[in-house]
Structure 1
Amino acid sequence: MLCAAHFMDAVDLSDVNVALPAIQRDLGMGSGALQWIVSAYALGYGGFLLLGGRVADLFGRRRAFLAAVAVFAVVSLFGALAPNGGLLIAARLVKGVAAGFLAPAALSLITTGWPEGPRRGRALGWYATAGACGFVGGLVLGGVLTELSWRLVLVLPAPIAVLALLAGLRLLPADPPAGERARVDVPGALTATGGLVLLVYAITRAPEEGWGSAGTLVLFAAAVLLLALFLRIESGTRRPLVPLPFLARRRTAGTSLTIFAMWGGYTAFAFIATLCLQNVLHWSPLRTAGAFVPLGLVNGGLAPFAGRLAARFGAHRMIAVGMLLLALSYALFFRIGPGASFTGVVLPVMVLNGLGTAAVFPALNLSAVAGVPDRDQGLAGALLNTSMQIGGAVVLAVVTAVVESGQPAGAGPAGGAPAGYASATAVIVAVVLAGLAAATLLRHRPDLNRETA
């Protein structure tokens, strides 16, 4: 049931991208408005993850999960029926907020329901498999359904949400009484959510408005001020939204930085690979989506076993191996260019990427929640997912700018990727290697903040 919800979330992240040209034609949306169909979801998701995780901890993971799934189903239907672009963007924003409550609740239900060790590793492996299958399945199903109607693409998560809701009502154990802990740190919640929303908003609009524009700089400054105020509030309250010693944990820093780089690299790679396969190799959208299927199959097939191996041999070792495989897969993408074949060039990239993702993602989830008390499991999952979403937004924005500033197609090295794509690929490789360096924080060493955390 939890994997079905994660599958639904991943489908919704990927399927809409294939439908964007059809939505633009049907609703008469400009390019600037069109990108907010994707950005509004990221804005709600990244901005509300931290609050969503804490609400799950304080008021009940079952309540948070079921409420988020119900909202997801309703808003999916509303978005599919939207008569204009404004209402569609609003629906995507609300759906992103629902996902911000759903993701940490689902992850904490797994980590509190299965004890640390191989059983939790196996459960998180299957959870990662569901996400990988959903992301790739969303690309393929999005391509198929767009041929009929883009509205079918937007309604696709609704029946999955209904099934997950009905199953959750039967399968999830009742939440314990809220007790004295069920008091939200309102000032902390407002400043943290406001700061994260402004940060994600600034990142998503910066490529269009300019990184040095007055509007962008004002947004970044406001986000920094709100987040600084949040830290000040947390240091002086008895029941903080996020205990500051938790943020200072070596393991928290390591997992956050590593998943920032890992997901940022993958999001940017999926973007430039999609552009390159269609603009350089002149593949159709459906054929381009099919190129990602081997990645999903390898990831989905190996993730359950990778989770168990991470629990047995150490999450930090699996993460290091996986990040090396990801860096190698992106480096192989330098070979892309006119006339590149699927089997000789694209397939090795996708297979290695699937191997690397299968090794890294379950291990990072294991590492993020290891040693964390049950009362803070939602917070741990929220911090991990927040770093993941912000990493995707930041690296994608940088890579987009690099591609747009590159030379015209064909100006790159002979037989290789055009210059803009080659430079963007170099950025992705560098980001993943930086994430590999951050993973050294996950080695088993005494945590200076263990007692206070």
Structure 2
Amino acid sequence: MIIRRPSAPAATLAVLSVAQFLIALDYSIIYIALPSIAADLYLAPSLAPWVVSAYAVLFAGFLVVGGRLTDRIGAKRLFVAAIVAFGAASAVGGAAQDGAVLLAARGAQGLGAALLKPAVLALIGTTFPASPARGRALAVWGSVGASGLAAGAILGGLLTSASWRLTFVINVPLTLLCALGAALFVRPARETSPAARTPVLASLLGTGTVLTLVLALTLGPGEGWSATSTLVCLGLALLFLAAFLRGEATSRTVLVEPVLRRIASLRIGAAATALYMASVGSEFYLLTLLLQSLKGYTPLDAGLAFLPLAVMVTAGSAAAGRAVRRTGPATVLVAGFALAAAGLLWISLALAGDSYAVDLLPGLLLSGFGHGAIYTSMFIIGTHDVPAAQQGTAGALLTTSQYLSGAVTVAVLTLALGPSPDDARFRIAFWLTTGAAAAGGALVAARRHRVGANPPYRAVASRKRQSAGPRRQGRVNEGRPSNC
């Protein structure tokens, strides 16, 4: 019996998709486990959200460093090193006996993910040249990522019912699988930039800005907005921000290269990823608290309640992959934000009801489908016009925007909910996420002429393939930017 080895692009995409699933899973799986972690390790209510934020801030703060390292030393090398580091941090988190160790492990996970994510995006960019093939690869990758965010909530409920530590331990075999798959199937990227400098100082200043801002938002409600600790954090945030902006204007080693600042699709994609995270990207956090803290669901019941949402996220992402090829990514992204806003608004108006099927389920279905559509199309837009050699850095910028927004949004939502959230507090929090989704749709609709609003050149490419013959079929439009 002959076992055929999978083609290099297909096998590479499979490995990268598992890595993306792992990154997304690890961010959302922690939500349902959060109450159990806080109770077991005696974390104060103001400190518990840092189990989420420690990951998000370190992840976002060093993504561009990861992107530059990807472009400098090679995506495959960084991928293997980062996935191993991520697995080691997960093992430490699973064994943690106090809050300090756990938060340090979460930060280390975020740092590992910051190196891993741009390596994944760079390998997609170099394995699939600018063409409809890249759009299809990103659609698959986006579908897996969106599924990982939703599946994390379900697995979080199932695993937390046994032990919250399993939400960390589950990462270890997945990281080993990715490392092995990369060694066997992933080819090194051909384009690297050995002369590129790594903006470590800029990343430290940017991370410090967000870290101190989130810390100030955490301390403000409890210590008081005029307390010394709160004012010191706000002052440091302003100081770090000023130093960061000055460095970007005058330094040779900047975080965002001038050539990337001029790419309209990247700017709009970064704004879309930020508003995505401020809307449906933070829905998991709110729903977890709503179901467990307000409605008294067990972790398992809460996980099962997320099942329809998970199914619709996957369905929305798959549908978006097909729709992008017919209508263009901007149209899909606007529609996704509109559905997300409708679903979040429904939940905000019906959350006081006692019936899950009548009050919550319709909103979960709408927001879940919109979530999947947004997640797939926003990365297609963001990487649309970026050269292959800078795919790693561009992908890092998109995800930096996403997770910095996530860290700040969690702090703002925690502030809106207060120490003892009730129906009115949750309604305000859901209104905030609804507003973010509406803003995302309005932004992309206003700029759609600059981000591939027209359908892709599917018909043109098809005619060229027919005239080019079978030998050149895979090289049609290679190196040109596509509309998907």
Alpha-carbon contact 2:25-2:149 (below 8 Å) kept: yes
Amino acid at match of 2:127: G
TM-score with structure 1 setting the length: 0.87
Amino acid at match of 2:291: L
The answer to whether the aligner puts 1:437 opposite 2:442 as a matched pair is yes
- Give the CA deviation at 1:192: 4.0
What SS does the aligned partner of 2:377 have? helix
1:80 to 54, 75, 94: 94
> Structure 2 vs 1, CA of residues 6 and 287 (structure 1 numbering), >3 Å: closer, same or farther?
same
1:128-277 matched pairs, under 5 angstroms: 128-176=142-190, 178=192, 180-185=194-199, 187-203=201-217, 208-209=222-223, 213-238=227-252, 240-277=254-291
> Structure 2 vs 1, CA of residues 332 and 316 (structure 1 numbering), >3 Å: closer, same or farther?
same
1:300-319 matched pairs, under 5 angstroms: 300-319=314-333
Deviation sequence 1:271-329 (CA, Å, 0-9, x none): 33223333444332222222221122122134234124224422111111111111111
Amino acid at match of 2:436: V
- In 2, Cα distance between the equivalents of 1:377 and 1:212? 44
- Give the CA deviation at 1:424: 1.9
Amino acid at match of 1:343: A
2:108 to 94, 101, 104: 94
1:12 aligns with 26
TM-score with structure 2 setting the length: 0.82
Amino acid at match of 2:55: Y
What SS does the aligned partner of 1:174 have? coil
> Structure 2 vs 1, CA of residues 106 and 280 (structure 1 numbering), >3 Å: closer, same or farther?
same
What SS does the aligned partner of 1:147 have? helix
- In 1, Cα distance between the equivalents of 2:221 and 2:282? 14
Alpha-carbon contact 2:62-2:203 (below 8 Å) kept: no
Identity %: 35
1:43 to 35, 43, 57: 57
- In 2, Cα distance between the equivalents of 1:332 and 1:45? 32
2:82 aligns with 68
Amino acid at match of 1:143: G
Q: How many aligned positions are there? A: 438
> Structure 2 vs 1, CA of residues 237 and 298 (structure 1 numbering), >3 Å: closer, same or farther?
same
Amino acid at match of 1:272: L
Deviation sequence 1:188-239 (CA, Å, 0-9, x none): 4544444454455545555555556543444344334434433433444556
- In 2, Cα distance between the equivalents of 1:339 and 1:242? 47
Residue segments in structure 1 that go unaligned for 5+ positions in a row? 410-417, 448-453
> Structure 2 vs 1, CA of residues 107 and 216 (structure 1 numbering), >3 Å: closer, same or farther?
farther
1:55 aligns with 69
- In 2, Cα distance between the equivalents of 1:446 and 1:286? 42
> Structure 2 vs 1, CA of residues 206 and 376 (structure 1 numbering), >3 Å: closer, same or farther?
farther
Residue segments in structure 2 that go unaligned for 5+ positions in a row? 1-14, 453-484
- Give the CA deviation at 1:403: 2.2
- In 2, Cα distance between the equivalents of 1:43 and 1:208? 21
Alpha-carbon contact 1:121-1:362 (below 8 Å) kept: no
2:424 to 419, 425, 429: 419
> Structure 2 vs 1, CA of residues 434 and 405 (structure 1 numbering), >3 Å: closer, same or farther?
farther
Alpha-carbon contact 1:122-1:304 (below 8 Å) kept: no
The answer to whether the aligner puts 1:403 opposite 2:417 as a matched pair is yes
What SS does the aligned partner of 1:150 have? coil
2:403 to 376, 386, 389: 389
> Structure 2 vs 1, CA of residues 19 and 331 (structure 1 numbering), >3 Å: closer, same or farther?
closer
